[in-house]
Amino acid sequence: MVSAAPNHDALSNITFRAFAEFVEQNFSSTVSLATVLVTLFTISDNSDLLNFHSCMQHPKMGEHGQVISGWIKGLGCALNEKLGQNTSRLFKQSDKMFDLDNEQLNHAVAVKLDALYQLLDISPYNDQGKYRHIYKESKKEIEPAYVICWNVKLPPAMVEASFWLQEIVMYQELH
């Protein structure tokens, strides 16, 4: 069984330029940053499912391989449901994705996800089809920095006092 464990290098190997070129070549020019990020996080946060997908792409002796597995189709379906109307922005006009039934659309989304998966080079198999321990969840690598802040509304007098306190501290630091 293939399982996921933390690996902080999973997304480190791709440059922004390569990712941006992928987005330009594969998605609509009207795709939003939110849609692109949801698509990226869908890949980065489903390592176990993608490992199963890779196993289907690299069958063992006597097994039948699948380029687009049921695993990635299921992920495509989930992404399609998540994006709703914005799913169409994953496709260029030249993709001619009009009048598709839901199954065809889910398959087309799965193809896009597989292309992104291949770009990220996070399959547990190398180019020769040999198993390698490479892709694990990469949440830690892309986790934001946090600052603790209370969510309270200060009375106007306190807001003004905190402003003047900040000014006094800055003045003292400069002099």
Question: SS in 3 state form for the chain?
Answer: CCCCCCCCCCCCCCCHHHHHHHHHHHCCCCCCHHHHHHHHHHHHCCHHHHHHHHHHHCCCCCCCCCCCCHHHHHHHHHHHHHHHHHHHHHCCHHHCCCCCCHHHHHHHHHHHHHHHHHHHCCCCECCCCCECCCCCCCCHHHCCCCCCCCCCCCCHHHHHHHHHHHHHHHHHHHC
Residue 82 lies in a domain: yes
Domain count, the chain: 1
pLDDT at 135: 47
pLDDT value, residue 162: 63
Output the pLDDT for position 50.
Answer: 85
Per-residue confidence (pLDDT) for residue 155, from 0 to 100: 65
Q: Is residue 59 part of a domain?
A: yes
Range of the domain at 37: 16-145
Q: What is the pLDDT of residue 130?
A: 77
In a domain, 6, yes or no: no
Asked whether residue 161 is domain-assigned, the answer is no
pLDDT of residue 74: 94
What is the mean pLDDT, run by run of 10 residues, along the chain of 175 residues? 45 84 95 94 86 82 81 94 92 84 92 91 76 58 70 65 64 67
The predicted structure's pLDDT at residue 47: 81
| Predicted pLDDT at 4 | 46
Q: Is residue 56 in a domain?
A: yes
Q: What is the pLDDT of residue 25?
A: 95
* Domain presence at residue 100: yes
Q: What's the pLDDT score for residue 87?
A: 92
